Amino acid sequence: MKDRLKYKDFIGSVHFSTDDEVFFGKIEGINDLVTFEGNSVTKLKSAFRDAVNDYIELCRESGKQALKSFKGSFNVRLNPELHSKAFETALLEGKTLNQFVKEAIESKIEN
């Protein structure tokens, strides 16, 4: 099950509150907190699209970049055994661990 919505370049998380009997979520991958909700899937999707469009307009008006920018580096936490195996495999392939991980991510995204 994928608890995500996609509209334009934006991804929204999806959750359900049994107490309130409402679907809710937030726009992911931005530097602000923008939420949306609906009491049906149709209304949730509509609220998500409206939230994205409103956010894009707000960013345009304020001269702000809508999507979060990324530096191109991040920490990956692995168990020591997997870390060791990845290092060994990279070494045997004549690559750095960074190259190995980069290629693995590229391969996963392409598929």
Backbone angles phi, psi at 100, to 5 degrees: -60, -50
Between the CA atoms of 62, 68, 70 and 76, what dihedral angle is there, to the nearest 10 degrees?
160
Query: Residue with structure tokens 């990324």?
Result: 70
Backbone angles phi, psi at 43, to 5 degrees: -70, -35
Please write the tens of the pLDDT for every residue from 41-92.
Answer: 999 999 999 999 999 999 999 999 999 998 999 999 999 999 999 999 999 9
Please state, in angstroms and as integers, the Cα–Cα distance from residue 109 to each residue in 76, 96, 102, 105, following that order.
Answer: 17, 20, 11, 6
Domain residue limits, the chain: 4-62, 80-110
pLDDT band at 1 (very low <50, low <70, confident <90, very high): low
Joined together, the tokens standing for residue 10 give 């934006």
pLDDT at 58: 97
